[in-house]
Chain A
């Protein structure tokens, strides 16, 4: 194995690499032993603590699956509402009229600069004060409100980038055959941009799924993370076990979404039917996903 950064290894380099591997292995083993020891000392590795997840289905049907359902509902609702909003604002930012373009830009930049949690906390107070939404539903409403406001502005940027990435000839050809601006947008640019944006949209879904956990931690929204909390008190302080299981579920969902986005991108790039313009999933979401306030 060689790369641009190092030569094919000769006998000395190979010996040195074996040494590094052994040293690193020792460090990992020491860290692993320390983790094992401290978990064992506190009795966190006892079968009693892990039993609920492996023996019997009660933990799954009572806590994990309902929590997972709420996580997915909130994520899906946010995506469904944020997509059209994002499209509207993305297109508005490309408008020829300054009185449409500038306000849209201000709104998008404003909501991108604010943490999702702030928007969610605002949402809770808003629904409490001005609506009659019951206190059971309020957390879901607040979580979705926060996620929609933030992600619509991120999606607006994705839509804008998707449209701008299309070759200029598309617009010119559309104008040449006499289409008006609206027609050019709806029947020429948008359909192509949607394909180009798909991978970026899928990876934005990862950000949304991760952000729903905020609702569980701060707003008493009973999603997956909140169910870990409830479980650990119900099953006798098996905090480590509950968090491990919940984190694994999150990793599983998000890793498959990321893999799907990557596959989609490669497939779209290969396709010969389109212009071949594809926004890479990481371009926006990769760095924003730390915005994943997650």
Chain B
């Protein structure tokens, strides 16, 4: 795997040193692995935002059966380890029941299955964050909306949810950061993302601390800016009361 020292670098001690230190990265697709992590995060984030909002709407709605379903879903899913859910999508849904989500090769099937698992799990937390946000909207807002004759759906979609979303940017950011970290669990079913690559590299290469530091740095780069930027956005959009 060791590349012969390039003639271009000869005589340049810095380039030489750089090449020796980062030699272990040769032959591994580090950006590719982190790109899979990012894809997992974004797809699951969109999916769980939609499904989580629907769940929250069910939980605050007037139909008792839907309320019961929402409550049961959140309480069950929140208490199952994500690892169990992800492993189940592969061993249970795919290998036992033959569900492949329209994909044909191993990599795509497992990628889609893990997105499904991440959405199922994360939406329970999104639902709780949004429900907490609905509670921060002053009672008078909903009362005024009802007084001018809006229906439940109108009250929720026109008055309450827009305000609730603005106040839950902070909590939802925490959920997003947690989701970014949770995508590593997809390694359990062989999705080629960062954690799986790190495991492979640590098994084959000697530089334990250096490799770990590179991956840790990668995740800090993903999660820290998310927190800072969305934290700033959250302050900007929050309804001042």
Known: A115-B181, A243-B88. A25 touches B142 (CB 8 A): no
| Interface window among A84-92, A93-101, A166-174, A250-258 | A250-258
**Chain A residues, CB < 8 A from B174:** 287-288, 290
Q: Which of these, A214, A239, A288, contacts B185 with CB under 8 Å?
A: A214
Give the CA-CA distance A150 to B146 in the complex, in Å.
47
Is residue B8 within 8 Å, beta carbon to beta carbon, of the partner chain? no
Q: Which of these, B84, B142, B179, B199, contacts A218 with CB under 8 Å?
A: B199
B interface list, Cβ under 8 A from A: 60-66, 69, 75-76, 78-84, 86-88, 91-92, 95-99, 121-122, 125, 128-129, 132, 134, 139, 142-143, 146, 151-152, 155-156, 160, 171, 174-175, 177-179, 181-182, 184-185, 187-188, 194-195, 198-199, 202-203, 208, 212, 215-216, 219-220, 223-224
Instruction: Count A-B pairs with CB separation below 8 Å.
Output: 200
Chain B interface SS verdict (over half): helix
In the complex, the answer to whether B81 meets A38 with C-beta atoms within 8 Å is no
In the complex, the answer to whether B220 meets A113 with C-beta atoms within 8 Å is yes
In the complex, the answer to whether B82 meets A251 with C-beta atoms within 8 Å is no
Minimum Cβ distance to chain A for residue B18 (Å): 24
Known: A118-B216, A210-B82, A214-B83; 14 extra A-B contacts, CB below 8 A, are A5-B155, A25-B65, A117-B185, A210-B83, A211-B81, A217-B83, A247-B88, A282-B132, A286-B125, A291-B177, A291-B178, A292-B178, A293-B182, A293-B184
A interface list, Cβ under 8 A from B: 1-7, 9, 13, 17, 20-21, 24-25, 28, 38-39, 42, 44, 109-110, 113-118, 121-122, 124-126, 129, 206, 209-214, 216-218, 225, 228-229, 232, 237, 239-240, 243, 246-247, 250-251, 253-255, 258, 282, 286-294
Chain A interface SS verdict (over half): helix
